[in-house]
Amino acid sequence: MHYLTQDIEFPNVNEANEDGLLAIGGDLSTERLIYAYKKGIFPWFEKEEPILWWSPNPRFVLFPNKLKISKSMKQVLRNSSYIVTINKAFKDVIQQCSKIKRNGQSGTWITNNMINAYCKLHELGYAKSVEVWKDKDLVGGFYGIDLGNKVFCGESMFANESNASKIGLITFIQNTSYKLIDCQVFTQHMESLGAEDIPRDKFLSFII
C-alpha cells in the first residue's frame, strides 16, 4: 500500500488493490484534489480514518444517452412542482449530504475538512451543485466535480422528499452535454437509472 507524503504525485492506478484502494494519507489541498480527479482517483473515507484514495476497476458510470426513466418517473416529472437549479446553494447541498446515513457506514465521510475543501473547489469552478427546491425549501440535490472534459464526477446526493434527488439528476443530465457521469462505485439507485460497470482503462480514456 502506498502512503502519500507532501508530494502530490500518486502511484499508477493499476497498482490499486482489488477493492480499488490506491493510496493512504496526503491532504485535501485544492492542488491534490484536482490532480487526483484528472487521474481518475477520488478520496473516500470515514471520519476516524486517514484519507483513503480510490481508483476502482471496474468503474461504475452512467452514459447520458443510456439514461433510463421509468413510466412512473416520467409521470412524476410531468407533474412535479419542484424547481431545479445549479450552483445556487453549494455549501447547503454538501452539508445536507453529510447528514445522510448510509448502509455499511458508521459515520459520514463528508467531514468538515472535506466540506471546506470542496467549497474551495466550487469557488474555483471545479465543483458544481444541483439543488431541488419545493417552494423555498431545499429538499434534494447533489454535488460533484467538473474538470471541463465533458465528464461529471458525482460525489454524493441527498433527498428529504421522495424522488427529489432523482428529479434533480434527471433534469441535470437532460439539460447538459456531458459524455459521461462518473458514479464511482455501484449503487442500486444509479443502476435503476441506467448506470453500468466499465473497465477502468475505458473510463480513463474519457478523462485523460
Spell out the domain ranges in the chain: 2-54, 59-207
1: confidence class by pLDDT, cuts 50, 70, 90: confident
pLDDT of residue 208: 83
46: confidence class by pLDDT, cuts 50, 70, 90: confident
pLDDT cut 90: percent of the chain above it? 87
* Residue 184 near residue 42, CB atoms below 8 Å: yes
> Mean of the pLDDT values across residues 32-59?
95
Name residue 61's beta-bridge partners: 182, 196
pTM reported for the whole predicted model:
0.93
**Would you state the CATH architecture of domain 2-54?**
2-Layer Sandwich (3.30)
Rounded Cα–Cα distance for residues 163 and 81 (Å): 12
pLDDT of residue 64: 97
pLDDT of residue 147: 87
User: Higher model confidence: residue 58 or residue 107?
Assistant: 58
Rounded Cα–Cα distance for residues 59 and 1 (Å): 20
Please report, as a single letter, which amino acid is at residue 161: E
Are 2-54 and 59-207 the same fold in CATH?
Answer: no
Q: Which CATH number fits domain 59-207: 2.40.50.140, 3.20.20.100, 3.40.50.620, 3.40.630.70?
A: 3.40.630.70
Rounded Cα–Cα distance for residues 128 and 50 (Å): 25
Rounded Cα–Cα distance for residues 60 and 137 (Å): 31
- For the stretch 79-137, pLDDT in tens is 999 999 999 999 999 999 999 865 554 446 799 999 999 999 999 999 999 999 999 99
pLDDT cut 70: percent of the chain above it? 96
> Mean of the pLDDT values across residues 144-167?
94
| DSSP string computed for the chain | -EEE-SS-----GGGS-TT-EEEEE----HHHHHHHHHTT-EE---TTSPPEEE--SSEEEE-GGG----HHHHHHHHH---EEEESSSHHHHHHHHHT---TT-SS-S--HHHHHHHHHHHHTTSEEEEEEEETTEEEEEEEEEE-SSSEEEEEEEEESSTTHHHHHHHHHHHTS--SEEEEES--HHHHHTT-EEE-HHHHHHHH-
